[in-house]
Copies of this chain bind each other. A is one copy, B any other.
Amino acid sequence: MEKVILLIQCPDQHGIVAQVTQFIFQQNGNITESNQHSTDLEGGRFYMRLGFILDTADRTILEGAFSPLGKSLQAEWHFHFESDVTRMAIAVSQYDHCLVDLLYRVSSGELNATIPFVISNHETTRALVEHHGIPFHHLPVNKDTKADQEKQILDLISENSDFLVMARYMQILSADFLGDYGKEVINIHHSFLPSFIGANPYRQAYERGVKIIGATAHYATMDLDEGPIIEQAVARVSHTDTVQTLKRKGRTLEQNALASAIHAHAEHRVIRHGNKTIVFEP
Give A contacts to B, CB under 8 Å: 14-19, 21-22, 24-25, 28, 30-38, 41, 53, 96-97, 100, 104, 108, 110, 131, 192-196, 208-212, 214, 228-232, 234, 238-240, 245, 248, 251-252, 256, 275-279, 281-282
Contacts and interface: CB of A to CB of B under 8 A. Distances in A.
Given A212-B214, A282-B240, A17 B31 contact: yes
A209 B19 CA distance: 30
Q: How many copies does the complex hold?
A: 4
Contacts of A35: 34-35
Contacts of A16: 31
Dominant secondary structure of chain A at its interface with chain B: mixed
Contacts of A251: 110
A131 B132 CA distance: 11
B239 A209 contact: no
A266 B34 CA distance: 22
A231 to B, nearest CB: 6
A279 B37 contact: no
A246 B22 CA distance: 33
Contacts of A228: 209
Contacts of A252: 256
B248 A110 contact: yes
A32 B24 contact: no
Contacts of A96: 108
Contact of A210 (B34, B37, B100, B229): B229
Among A208, A228, A239, A281, find the residue whose CB has the most chain B CB atoms closer than 10 A.
A239
Contacts of A282: 240, 245
